[in-house]
């Protein structure tokens, strides 16, 4: 069974905007607005989790260590010139 596409109500639009902005849900909005909010929030959380799974954290850690060591060596070299 496929649902009919329809425009969002005022409450649903407000809930969708809050979800996209990461703002809390306004409890004065309707139940259908709550479903919109929860659906968008859930989808955005899943997307963030997928982004972190694709990102190799070990490679970043190694690069950060190398970068800080290089800058320390440069600082030492400059100070030995003076």
Residue 16 counted as domain residue = yes
How many structural domains is the chain composed of? 1
Residue 5 counted as domain residue = no
pTM greater than 0.85 (yes/no)? no
> Does residue 82 have a pLDDT over 70?
no
Q: Taking a C-beta distance cutoff of 8 angstroms, is the pair 24, 49 a contact?
A: no
Task: Please give the C-alpha separations between residue 16 and each of 56, 63, 82, in angstroms, as whole numbers.
Answer: 32, 39, 60
Q: Taking a C-beta distance cutoff of 8 angstroms, is the pair 61, 37 a contact?
A: no
Residue 2 counted as domain residue = no
Residue 4 counted as domain residue = no
Helix (H) or strand (E) holding 74, with range, is helix 57-81
Q: pLDDT by residue (tens digit) across 3-47?
A: 778 999 999 999 999 999 999 999 999 999 999 999 999 998 887
Q: By residue range, what is the domain housing residue 54? A: 10-81
Residue 3 counted as domain residue = no
Residue 66 counted as domain residue = yes
């Amino acid at each position: 069974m496929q649902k009919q596409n329809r425009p969002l109500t005022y409450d649903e639009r407000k809930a969708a905007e809050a979800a996209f902005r990461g703002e809390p849900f306004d409890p004065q909005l309707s139940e259908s607005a709550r479903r919109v909010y929860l659906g968008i929030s859930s989808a955005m959380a899943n997307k963030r989790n997928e982004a972190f799974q694709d990102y190799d954290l070990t490679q970043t850690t190694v690069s950060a260590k190398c970068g800080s060591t290089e800058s320390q060596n440069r600082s030492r070299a400059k100070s030995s010139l003076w």
